[in-house]
């Protein structure tokens, strides 16, 4: 059973997470020839102040 853990900046809408989850699930299901029910997707929201790129904290997520 594939388990996908997605870390994402907090502030993304549930609608956006639903769409990401749907697409990830569909891709894994198709490539691995597994039923969608066997694929787990979990989101971890991370505060922008805790997410760094090149030593600098990132900003807020782009508009939804």
State the catalytic residue, choosing from 2, 11, 36, 50: 2
3 state SS for the chain: CCEEEEEEECCCCHHHHHHHHHHHHHHHHHHHCCCHHHCEEEEEEECHHHCEECCEECCCCCCC
Is-catalytic flag, 61? no
Catalytic residues: 2
């Amino acid at each position: 059973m594939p388990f996908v853990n997605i870390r994402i900046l907090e502030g993304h809408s549930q609608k956006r997470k639903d769409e990401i989850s749907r697409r990830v699930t569909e891709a894994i299901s198709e490539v691995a020839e597994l039923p969608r029910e066997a694929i787990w997707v979990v989101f971890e929201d991370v505060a922008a102040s805790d997410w760094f790129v090149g030593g600098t904290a990132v900003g807020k997520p782009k508009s939804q």
